A and B are shown apart, each in its own frame.
Chain A
Amino acid sequence: MDTTLLRIENLSKTFATVKANDNISLEVNKGEVVALLGENGAGKSTLVKSVFGLVKPDSGTITIKGEVIEAGDTAAAIRHGIGMVHQHFQLVPVMSVAENIILGDEPHKGAFISYAEARESVKELSDKFGLDIDPDAIVEDLPVGLQQRVEILKALRKNVDLLILDEPTAVLTPQEIEELLQVIRNLSSQGVGIIFITHKLREVLAVADRIVVLRNGKSVGTATPKESTESSLAQLMIGREVIFRLDKKEAKPGAVVLEIEDLYVKDDRKLMSVNGLSLSLHAGEILGVAGVEGNGQRELVEALTGMRPTVKGSFSILGEVATGKNPRAIHTMGVSHVPEDREKDGLIATLSIDENLVLNQYKNPPFAKGWIRNIAAVNSYAEKMIEKFDVRTPSGKYPINSLSGGNKQKVVIAREMSQDSKIIIASQPTRGIDIGSIEFIHNQLLASRDSGVAVLLVSAELDEILSISDRIAVMYGGKIVAILDPHDVDRTQIGRLMAGATQ
């Protein structure tokens, strides 16, 4: 009997100028966990989206249990027994958990939804997979980890033969990741085929039966965990040797440049998300703030950069009180900010690369003299920056949305790190970036630190924090729960702290 569940043959997909998937072939068998590995931009998401019908491939076929699937039709994919847990949650924030889970296949009497039945089925699902959730809770009120659960339950609701998980562990603590991996093992032992996308090598080695590596849209090799190490996989992913520990000098921390005292900040839902936080940042050090997303990091950074009002408490920059100042004022005090959401806050997509490079300095000389701007000065400055930070573009005059994610981030970094600032606040600076650019950005941060700048690094990637921080502050529930020295700490310990365990 043919145990092949999914067969992808010669799949190709091009977006504008980028060939996201280049003639990829892949098979998944019943009960097999296939890890799809590759760095950001390698084409993993695009591939599985084709399987699920969210993207219509240009060529190639997808066969499930022997039947060819119509391309670009999500409903058809669902009918064929495919379920998907998405990287960016596909949930309706204002609706309840139950409504989100039943969407598209609602229990009903005629035209009317039977909510009682809906609640029942959610409870059944919860019990079956050991993922507890309240059916009537409104999704946007839930913490991110629980939202992930809703996303997973939604995918598991139907009897799926093939489950696709796209970067499911981004917002989970190490413990929750373990639990999820266990759920995956259970499912595969029940005969469900699983495609597990991740860029975290650790997870791959823990749970995969087979590993398929994508690079630049092509499938470059398969391996099994037995025959692989993190290094060998990384090499497949990038095509060259990767250094895991950066060559960094010891830090020479100086005076305190940023002092946060008992800060309270509310989030968009009017809940207190920064809950009495105190922290000091010294010149010449990189302080890494570790924590699972959703524990107040975003609001903290927004408050520190003047983009969000504070409720109580204060913070001062170089001795001067900065609470309540607007972004422009804080910037003038010597703070640079690499925002978490670069598309929303850091860049203006349709403006040119040059303009984006001077975005928050457009009023200052030499870029402007009073009311009149000096475009020539802007262009020549931009030219230097593009060269120095290795931004890949034929010309600075192109709109910035013509750049890849990594290059866009380089523009933001270039801008923020060239401003003679005393403090750099970098929020998820390497999210969604290819490894080459990640290395580059980390080196830039270290260089800044070596020249006496204070760097506050907020990141959900524990590896990043461990690799470049001089001190680590663990954030949980809006507070700093521990300050650690990266040399004497291990992942399990940090993991527990990130999940709220007390020492």
Chain B
Amino acid sequence: MTAYHVLIVKGFQSTAGLQSTLSKAGILIMSGLAITIGLRAGLFNIGAQGQVLSGALAFTYVGYRLHGLPIWVHLPVALVVGAAFGAFVGGFAGFLKATRGVHEVISTIMLNSIMAGIVDYLTQNQFRLQGQPNTRTPEILHSARLPHIFGYPSGFLIAVFLAFFVSWVLKKTTTGFEFESVGRNRNAAWYAGISVKKTIILGMLVSGAIAGFTGAIFSSETTGYFVPAFYSGIGFDGITVALLGRANPKALIPGAIFIGGMRSAQSAIQFEAGVAPDIINLLLALVLFFATAPFLAKLLKSNAKSITTTSGWGS
């Protein structure tokens, strides 16, 4: 039981804890957004992890390689590059799906491993900072660092803003309508004049871009240098957040804060309560299981926008 106590204290009550929680929450919101926007278009982008890694590494590289630029140029440029790489990976999967009918669940999981391998290689070789005991890249310049607001990481604010923005796009723009339509009924969308192929590719591009952006923000906000292991779990926690929020952008926020808190307290748990940190993984998995389980689904079934991704293997 002390473990739970630790969770709450370390997660939310201390200032340091709160900062850490919000920081993690911001990352999770964005990761969840990446997946959510894909889900809205009927795409299950499990490959967020690989896209996050790509974006993070790309960002870090631009972060430490471009010298002599003021922050208001350097930071946005680097962030965009990060997003672009994520988009590239995601878009590739989208392209495969639109043209060859390759189901994105399999292709993105494969891409996760592929990107992990590539990123690993680059970190150990071309991008490596020599003379360090661990394998890492050089640190990014100050001009690529995300500023703090009153000591709190601004990543969280960006994330919340992004969540509202995505929600607005889905409801009030033509692109959003296209996503929603293709996600619910491809035939009718086609009949309505929407290009299903383009929407699928765009969906994966955007999803990947947000994921890449997430990785970039993480790098900018926290360590500032890239070690692959730092990013483990962002992609998958993002899936949990998205499913908990039932693919609704604004509903991601509470879930992300909750999970962020748990993750913040994760290392503390081992020291203070003697429980293996992996319990968090298990706890989260159980939370996800019960949250998406049917009794809740039945309650909400009549009106809820139920999430479906099984459009089958072929196109």
Question: Which among A344, A350, A362, A399 is the interface contact of B192 at CB below 8 angstroms?
Answer: A362
B138 to chain A, nearest CB (A): 40
Q: Is the CB of B177 within 8 A of A348?
A: no
Q: Is the CB of A307 within 8 A of B188?
A: no
17 A-B residue contacts at CB 8 Å? A327-B192, A337-B191, A344-B188, A345-B188, A345-B191, A346-B188, A346-B191, A351-B184, A359-B181, A362-B174, A362-B177, A362-B192, A363-B174, A371-B173, A373-B174, A375-B172, A399-B303
| Residues of chain A from 361 to 391 with CB closer than 8 A to chain B in the complex | 362-363, 368, 371-373, 375
Q: Which residues of A contact B273 (CB under 8 A)?
A: none
Q: Is the CB of B184 within 8 A of A344?
A: no
Q: Which residues of B contact A345 (CB under 8 A)?
A: 187-188, 191
Q: Is the CB of B172 within 8 A of A328?
A: no
B262 to chain A, nearest CB (A): 33
A residues near B (Cβ < 8 Å) are: 305, 307, 326-328, 331, 337, 339, 344-351, 355, 359-360, 362-363, 368, 371-373, 375, 399
Q: Is the CB of B191 within 8 A of A373?
A: no
Chain B residue at minimal CB-CB distance from A344: B187
Q: Is the CB of A348 within 8 A of B193?
A: no
Q: Any chain A CB within 8 A of the CB of B305?
A: yes
What CA separation (Å) do A237 and B260 show in the bound complex?
63
Chain A residue at minimal CB-CB distance from B306: A350
Q: Which residues of B contact A344 (CB under 8 A)?
A: 185, 187-188
Q: Is the CB of B190 within 8 A of A327?
A: yes
A446 to chain B, nearest CB (A): 25
Q: Is the CB of A348 within 8 A of B174?
A: no
Q: Is the CB of B184 within 8 A of A350?
A: yes
Chain A residue at minimal CB-CB distance from B173: A371
Known contacts A348-B181, A350-B305, A373-B177; decide if A359 and B188 are in contact (CB<8 Å): yes
Q: Is the CB of A373 within 8 A of B189?
A: no
Q: Which residues of B contact A348 (CB under 8 A)?
A: 181, 184-185, 188-189
Q: Is the CB of A360 within 8 A of B192?
A: yes
Q: Which residues of B contact A375 (CB under 8 A)?
A: 171-172
What CA separation (Å) do A363 and B184 show in the bound complex?
18
Closest 10 CB pairs of A and B: A328-B193, A360-B192, A348-B185, A359-B192, A345-B191, A348-B188, A348-B184, A344-B187, A345-B187, A362-B177
Q: Any chain A CB within 8 A of the CB of B237?
A: no
Q: Which residues of A contact B185 (CB under 8 A)?
A: 344, 347-349
A428 to chain B, nearest CB (A): 15
B residues near A (Cβ < 8 Å) are: 171-177, 180-181, 184-185, 187-195, 303, 305
Q: Which residues of A contact B305 (CB under 8 A)?
A: 350
What CA separation (Å) do A327 and B181 show in the bound complex?
15
Q: Is the CB of B189 within 8 A of A371?
A: no
- Dominant secondary structure of chain B at its interface with chain A: helix
Q: Is the CB of B188 within 8 A of A331?
A: no
Chain A residue at minimal CB-CB distance from B303: A399
Q: Which residues of A contact B190 (CB under 8 A)?
A: 307, 327
Q: Which residues of B contact A337 (CB under 8 A)?
A: 191
Q: Which residues of A contact B175 (CB under 8 A)?
A: 371
What CA separation (Å) do A285 and B192 show in the bound complex?
26
Q: Is the CB of B174 within 8 A of A327?
A: no
What CA separation (Å) do A111 and B67 show in the bound complex?
75
What CA separation (Å) do A349 and B191 show in the bound complex?
14
Given contacts A362-B174, A362-B177, A373-B174, 13 further A-B contacts (CB under 8 A): A326-B193, A328-B193, A344-B188, A347-B185, A347-B188, A348-B181, A348-B185, A348-B188, A349-B184, A350-B305, A360-B191, A371-B174, A373-B177
Known contacts A348-B181, A372-B172, A372-B173; decide if A327 and B188 are in contact (CB<8 Å): no
Q: Which residues of A contact B191 (CB under 8 A)?
A: 305, 307, 327, 337, 339, 345-346, 360
Q: Is the CB of B180 within 8 A of A351?
A: yes
Chain A residue at minimal CB-CB distance from B304: A350
What CA separation (Å) do A371 and B171 show in the bound complex?
12
What CA separation (Å) do A351 and B170 show in the bound complex?
13
Q: Is the CB of B187 within 8 A of A327?
A: no
- Dominant secondary structure of chain A at its interface with chain B: mixed
Q: Which residues of A contact B181 (CB under 8 A)?
A: 348, 351, 359
Q: Which residues of B contact A360 (CB under 8 A)?
A: 191-193
B302 to chain A, nearest CB (A): 9
What CA separation (Å) do A199 and B35 show in the bound complex?
49
What CA separation (Å) do A339 and B181 show in the bound complex?
17
Chain B residue at minimal CB-CB distance from A331: B193
What CA separation (Å) do A399 and B301 show in the bound complex?
13
Q: Which residues of A contact B177 (CB under 8 A)?
A: 355, 362, 373
A419 to chain B, nearest CB (A): 12
What CA separation (Å) do A305 and B184 show in the bound complex?
22
B55 to chain A, nearest CB (A): 25
What CA separation (Å) do A372 and B172 show in the bound complex?
6
Q: Which residues of B contact A339 (CB under 8 A)?
A: 191
What CA separation (Å) do A375 and B168 show in the bound complex?
12
Q: Which residues of A contact B192 (CB under 8 A)?
A: 327, 359-360, 362
Chain A residue at minimal CB-CB distance from B181: A348
What CA separation (Å) do A345 and B187 show in the bound complex?
5
What CA separation (Å) do A46 and B171 show in the bound complex?
39
Chain A residue at minimal CB-CB distance from B308: A350
Q: Is the CB of A373 within 8 A of B172?
A: yes
Q: Which residues of A contact B171 (CB under 8 A)?
A: 375
Q: Which residues of A contact B180 (CB under 8 A)?
A: 351
B233 to chain A, nearest CB (A): 32
Most buried by B among A327, A331, A346, A348: A348
A425 to chain B, nearest CB (A): 12
Chain B residue at minimal CB-CB distance from A341: B187
Q: Which residues of A contact B184 (CB under 8 A)?
A: 348-351
B250 to chain A, nearest CB (A): 17
A374 to chain B, nearest CB (A): 9
Q: Which residues of B contact A349 (CB under 8 A)?
A: 184-185
Q: Which residues of B contact A328 (CB under 8 A)?
A: 193-194
What CA separation (Å) do A233 and B177 show in the bound complex?
47
What CA separation (Å) do A350 and B194 show in the bound complex?
17
Q: Which residues of B contact A372 (CB under 8 A)?
A: 172-174
B191 to chain A, nearest CB (A): 5
Q: Which residues of A contact B188 (CB under 8 A)?
A: 344-348, 359
What CA separation (Å) do A485 and B85 show in the bound complex?
65
Chain A residue at minimal CB-CB distance from B177: A362
Q: Which residues of A contact B174 (CB under 8 A)?
A: 362-363, 368, 371-373
Chain B residue at minimal CB-CB distance from A339: B191
Q: Which residues of B contact A350 (CB under 8 A)?
A: 184, 305
Q: Which residues of A contact B173 (CB under 8 A)?
A: 371-373
Q: Which residues of A contact B303 (CB under 8 A)?
A: 399
Q: Which residues of B contact A307 (CB under 8 A)?
A: 190-191
What CA separation (Å) do A326 and B197 show in the bound complex?
13
What CA separation (Å) do A163 and B33 show in the bound complex?
55
A381 to chain B, nearest CB (A): 15
Q: Which residues of B contact A347 (CB under 8 A)?
A: 185, 188
Most buried by A among B172, B175, B192: B192
Chain B residue at minimal CB-CB distance from A369: B174
What CA separation (Å) do A331 and B194 show in the bound complex?
12
Chain B residue at minimal CB-CB distance from A399: B303
Most buried by A among B176, B191, B195, B303: B191
